[in-house]
Structure 1
Amino acid sequence: MPSELSSEKSNYSLPKQFYLIVMIISDPTKSATRTAIRETWLSNTHKDVKHFFVVGSKGLAQDVLQNVLDEHSSYHDMVILESINESYSSLTGKVLAGFQWLHSNHNFTFLLKCDDDSFVRMSPLIEQLHKQPQNHLYWGFFKGGSSVFQKGKWKENDWFLCDTYLPYALGGGYVLSSDLVKFIAKNALFLQQYKNEDVSVGVWLSPLKIHRVHDVRFDTEFKSRGCYNEYLITHKQSASQIREKQANLVKTGKLCQSESRVRYSYNYNWTVLPSKCCKNFDPELP
């Protein structure tokens, strides 16, 4: 279990039961982005929901670390992982350490993992979550049959399972039921960590008999598909775009000033092999 700093007391008895914990993977230097998130989509208090920003502190410059500690003292919502350095290659370990810490320190029904460049419509997401299976749930926007990265920072030196990635929910935002978080946390020492954290989660859960729910309202790919009022999560948003979307919701009740499409979406076909799962792009989908 990695060491960490948090205002939350570790291993206390009878912790409160939360319906949803939001685990936001963040960079220590992005305090302005975290402030934007606190002041926008996290600003409305939801009963039985708790959030944490997860950062690594190993090797941080002293001034950066002090800023993070000061921010934590102000907001009490940071999980600072002392064993994790901040780099792309350590991202999977960071997510895994976050799962372990949350499992050890909190009781919850669901976990939403997202990034600090994601915008979440919390109320409708929670409303829709009540309609999902309450156990064995892996909910997000799934991809299958993707080519394994062979170069660059994404190069998978340790991948030998097959010629493509296994089906996985994209990392801009996905939901896991607590039993799946427990499974991952308890088996952490046995799990191979790949460069892509979302690919890794898909591999770790691949042999399990669970509910994989593909949802086009999760706009969580490497690039946003545009803006649709139905979206529950929108990835790749700057702090100013996050504030703009919140302002739209407050002013009009809608996410977008006008809906727009950059890329087509698809419904995942679970009846075929992964190489054929995601070929039918549908202009009618958000």
Structure 2
Amino acid sequence: MAWKNRSGAEMNSRNLVSRKLTIFLCISCFCAGMLFTNRMWIEPEAKDLSRPTGTEAEKLKLIAEDCNTKSKSVRRDSKDIIGEVSKTHNAVQILDKTISNLEMELAAARAMQDSIVTGSPISDGLSLPEPVKKRKYLMVIGINTAFSSRKRRDSVRATWMPQGDKLKRLEEEKGIVMRFVIGHRQEEHAEEKKHGDFLRLEHIEGYLELSAKTKKYFTTALAIWDAEFYVKVDDDVHVNIEVDMLNEGTLGATLSRYQSKPRVYVGCMKSGRVLAQKGVRYHEPEHWKFGEDGNKYFRHATGQLYAISKDLATYISINQHVLHKYANEDVSIGSWFIGLDVEHIDDRRLCCGTPPDCEWKAQAGNVCVASFDWSCSGICRSADRIKDVHKRCGEDETALWNASF
């Protein structure tokens, strides 16, 4: 019995030692783990949180106001940046046009020099007036006419074309030159002497020669006047030269919007069918060049009125001897610009119908640049009807002189 008690005591003593040892080892391992991993839980030091003083509060308020000011300044700076980008873009466009003008003038000068060296002047037999120096015009308007069209010319003079001192004033104050474009005859023409509004070309008049005449017109006008645009219009078309710029009218205001562009071709763009049948109006002898029968022409401006920028007029002048002439003048003009970096501008205000069409548009505030009848390729019986068209669709004369560019 005593042995049993002794054995039990020994067993209890061993169990006690084992438990103590186990606890000690666990604590030791835990401490060692904390030591080696450096993951001691250190309580952060308490920071003193004190209420700001009156001076500090004022400083914080000033800082906040400064932040708001900077935010507003950033917004204003963004608007200023957009404005500067727009100004830079416009400046680049103007610079591009200036460079283009210089290149074209250099090419024209070389062509002139070559013609002198070879003894073949650009305009054979034509004595040109002295070019007007240091004077830039907005546009030169050439009114295509024939010797037999005296009544048409008189009707134009009585309506939309100023006369006498007003014509000179239009050139000097508004930079708009207007002339009837006509061929050349040896004898002095009484009408020319009376009105002084002819631009003579070394050209034989004839319907089938319109392409050649137009080419000579641009070449001659370019040599005499330094203008932004050169306009061709028929003598049986009514034109509003200029109205108040605020009303977006008409020819002058329309072209002024494109002054920053170097190469523009403005008109009512069309693409009519190529007529291969002989004997019909507008027959195209070279129809085979446009493909199969029934094909259409490339896009080009209708011949009643269109405008080209100075660069394009210079191009025609330099290359006039190699530019091909088709039977129809408007097709010829369009063909000369194919392959060039030219902006075609289709403006339907350049081809309004006669009253009531142009009258309704004028009443609605959409004044037409040009009015004519499509069926007649001009105003039907224009010598008799153009006064009525001018009365119902024409601009106020005072608006012409109040306009500015």
Partner of 1:241: 385
CA shift for structure 1 position 251: 9.5
What is the one-letter code of the residue matched to 2:388? E
- What TM-score, normalized to structure 2? 0.54
Q: Which runs of 4+ in 1 moved over 3 A?
A: 1-6, 158-161, 223-226, 249-253
The corresponding residue for 1:257 is none
Among 155, 161, 171, the alignment partner of 2:289 is 161
Query: Once the 2 structures are TM-superposed, how far is the Cα of residue 158 of structure 1 from its aligned partner?
Result: 3.5
Aligned to 1:120: 239
Q: C-alpha displacement at 1:27, in angstroms?
A: 1.1
Counterpart of 1:77 (choices 197, 201, 204) is 197
More strand by share: 1
- Deviation string for 1:73-121 (max 9, x for gaps)? 1122212223x22221111111111111112221111111110001101
* Aligned 8 A contact 1:109 1:177 in 2: yes
Deviation of residue 5 (structure 1)?
A: 6.9
* Structure 2: segments with no counterpart, 5+ residues: 1-121, 243-249, 373-377, 398-405
Amino acid at match of 2:283: K
> Would you say 1:174 and 2:323 are equivalent positions?
no
1:232 is matched with: 369
Equivalent-residue separation in structure 2 for 1:252 and 1:54 (angstroms): 26
Which residue identity lines up with residue 154 of structure 1 in the other structure?
Y
The one-letter code sitting in structure 2 at the alignment partner of 1:114 is: V
Name the larger-Rg structure.
2
The answer to whether structure 1 residue 141 and structure 2 residue 268 are counterparts is: yes
Measure, in 2, the Cα distance between the counterparts of 1:243 and 1:91: 27
For these two proteins, the number of residue pairs brought into alignment is 241
Contact kept? 1:133, 1:211, Cα under 8 Å? no
Checking the alignment, whether the CA contact within 8 Å between 2:265 and 2:306 is kept in structure 1 is yes
Residue 203 of structure 1 corresponds to which residue in structure 2?
Answer: 335
The alpha carbon displacement at 1:149 in A equals: 4.2
Query: C-alpha displacement at 1:141, in angstroms?
Result: 0.5
Does the CA-based 8 Å contact 2:240-2:394 persist in structure 1? no
CA distance in 2, matches of 1:38, 1:5: 27
Distance 1:70 1:227, change over 3 A: same
Matches within 5 A, 1:1-286: 1-3=122-124, 9-12=128-131, 14=133, 16-43=135-162, 46=170, 47-57=174-184, 69-82=189-202, 84-123=203-242, 124-134=250-260, 135-144=262-271, 146-152=273-279, 154-163=282-291, 164-219=296-351, 227-228=357-358, 229=362, 230-235=367-372, 236-237=378-379, 238-248=382-392
Which whole-Å CA distance do the structure 2 matches of 1:147 and 1:225 have between them?
30
User: Taking structure 1 as reference, are residues 13 and 249 closer, same or farther at Cα in structure 2, changes over 3 Å only?
Assistant: closer
Q: Distance in 1 between matches of 2:197 and 2:176?
A: 12
Is the Cα contact below 8 Å between 1:119 and 1:242 reproduced in 2?
yes
The answer to whether the 8 A contact 1:15-1:105 is kept is no
Q: Check whether the contact 1:5–1:79 (CA below 8 A) recurs between aligned residues.
A: no
Gaps of 5+ in 1: 254-286
User: CA separation of 1:49/1:148 partners in 2, compared to 1, >3 Å: closer, same or farther?
Assistant: same
Deviations 1:231-281 (A, max 9, x none): 21113120222211222357989xxxxxxxxxxxxxxxxxxxxxxxxxxxx
In structure 1, what residue type is equivalent to 2:252? Answer: I
Q: Sort the Cα spacing of 1:72 and 1:148 in 2 relative to 1 into closer, same or farther, 3 A.
A: same
Q: Which amino acid aligns with 1:246?
A: H
Cα RMSD (Å): 2.7
Specify the SS of the correspondent of 1:188.
Answer: coil
Taking the aligned partners of 1:37 and 1:96, their CA distance within structure 2 comes to 23
2:321 alignment partner, SS class:
helix
The answer as to whether partners of 1:140 and 1:213 remain within 8 angstroms in 2 is yes
Distance in 2 of aligned mates of 1:103 and 1:147: 32
Query: Partners of 1:181 and 1:193 in 2: how far apart?
Result: 16
Q: Is the 8 A contact 1:4 1:79 kept in 2?
A: no
- Structure 1 residue 11 displacement after superposition: 4.2
Give the TM-score taking structure 1 as reference length. 0.75
Identify if the C-alpha distance between structure 1 residues 49 and 252 changes in structure 2 by more than 3 Å, giving closer, same or farther. closer
SS of the aligned residue for 1:176 comes to strand
Kindly tell me: are residues 165 and 148 of structure 1, through their superposed partners in 2, closer, same or farther at Cα, counting changes over 3 Å? farther
- C-alpha distance in 1 between matches for 2:237 and 2:140: 15
Structure holding more helix per residue = 2
Q: Deviations over 1:163-216 (max 9, x none)?
A: 332211000001111111111111111111011111000000111111111111
Q: Percent identity?
A: 25
- Change in 2 beyond 3 A, CA 1:169/1:149: farther
